[in-house]
Every structure is written in structure tokens, then in C-alpha cells.
Amino acid sequence: MSVLGQDFFARPTLEVARDLIGVTLVHEHKKGKISGRIVETEAYTQDDPASHSFGVLDRVKGRLHVKRRGYGLFEAPGTAYVYLTYGMYWLFNVVTEPAGIGGAVLIRAVEPLEGLDLMRAHRPGVRKEKDLTNGPGKLALAFGIDGRFHKRMLTGSPLFFEDTSEKSTLAIGTSSRIGIRRGTEFPWRFFVRNNPFVSPGKPSDHVLSGRDF
């Protein structure tokens, strides 16, 4: 087991998204340790109409405007990009590529490993274990991740990624991404095949699988 450092994230976004499958997400929470195995991710790149970084550079004529949404995607690799969607749910991303290039990976689902009691406390009313973390908004709630983590470095405590040795045996599928209107033609969602902890959402182009890795 080893903690993933900046060099892991300073690579092409698609590679990072694929390689994060099987990695353990750890939050050393004040009330106890929470962890889960990542089973679903999505890649968002700079030249991607679905990404918050899309067109940001052009619209300000080459100069980044700090207040604009998407600015955080140009931060150093391994930085958290956390934002509120639908006015209610935090979505947790990790910034990829060298600093100055706007890419990130959305963590969409994990399989709970440690801190199930804390997850349940953060997700009152949830009955089945898989419903604790089988979606990007759900896992943020279960892990206690919110806007306070925006722009924080994810290469050490309290929130970080831990590599494991069992990854190579995982059957990884791909599809178009979920919940987007533009960029639906890109198969940039990665997930563990036949894993019950993957989110129930439908890919935006209604094609269930691309090629496998």
C-alpha cells in the first residue's frame, strides 16, 4: 500500500481516471477513519464541452479570471476540485495533468471498506449498504466531503488515495458519461464490471459499454 503522489495525477486525464479504479479513497475523519474502493470514475478534460474548464481560457482572452467557475481545474495535479451541483450536492474531483492544464477526474462511486458506522451517520435513512456510496453526491455525503475541501491537496492526511496490489485482476468497462448534455460522444466513464457498488445512472448516449481494458 502506498499513498498516491502528485506524479500519479500529473498524467493524461483518461489514464488517471482508468488507473484510479481499484484505488482506495481514505478520509481520516475527526470521528474515525472512512475508506472505500473506487469502482467508478469519469474523466473531464480541457477541450471537453462537458467540463467546467471548457472555453474558460478563451472567454477571458488568455487570462484566467479567479472568480469564474472551473478555475480550480487549472490548479496543481492532486488538488481537490469540489463544487455544488443542483443546489444541493457536492461533487468530488481530483485535478489532473500538469498545473495550467484544466483536467480532472470525478469520483462517482466507491465500495465501502472502513467506517461504515460513520457513513450511515452521514446518510440517515439509507437502508442498503450499497446506497451509501453508489453515486457522486452520495459518496461525498458518506465521506463528509464538502466545499471546505475545494483546492486542498489530496496527497496526504486527512483526505488521500491509497494504491493497492489487487488492481490488475479487475475487469474495467467503459461508457459515455452520466448526466451530461454535451460531450456525450466520449466514452470517458470507467467502472468495475458487475460490481454492485457502481452507480445506477444511465450513460448519456444510452450505450452501456465501450471497449474493455
Residues in contact with DNA by CB under 7 A are 42, 44, 50-52, 59, 67-70, 73, 81, 84-89, 91, 93, 104, 106, 123, 125-126, 131, 135-139, 177-182, 199-202
Please, what is the minimum distance in Å from the beta carbon of residue 131 to DNA?
6
Is the preceding peptide bond at 158 cis, omega within 30 degrees of 0? yes
Please, what is the minimum distance in Å from the beta carbon of residue 169 to DNA?
26
Identity of the residue, 22 or 70, whose beta carbon is nearer to DNA in the bound complex? 70
Please, what is the minimum distance in Å from the beta carbon of residue 81 to DNA?
7
The amino acid at 140:
A
Please, what is the minimum distance in Å from the beta carbon of residue 172 to DNA?
19
Q: Distance (Å, rounded) from C-alpha 134 to C-alpha 107? A: 10
Identity of the residue, 62 or 87, whose beta carbon is nearer to DNA in the bound complex? 87
Identity of the residue, 39 or 169, whose beta carbon is nearer to DNA in the bound complex? 39
DSSP single-letter state for residue 53 = T
- Please tell me the chain's helix, strand, coil percentages from 3-state DSSP, rounded to the nearest 5: 20, 30, 50
Q: Quick one: which of 18, 38, 11, 9 has its CA closest to 188?
A: 18
Identity of the residue, 137 or 210, whose beta carbon is nearer to DNA in the bound complex? 137
Q: Quick one: which of 173, 185, 211, 191 has its CA closest to 48?
A: 185
Q: Which helix (H) or strand (E) holds 104?
A: strand 104-114
Please, what is the minimum distance in Å from the beta carbon of residue 104 to DNA?
5
Identity of the residue, 64 or 164, whose beta carbon is nearer to DNA in the bound complex? 64
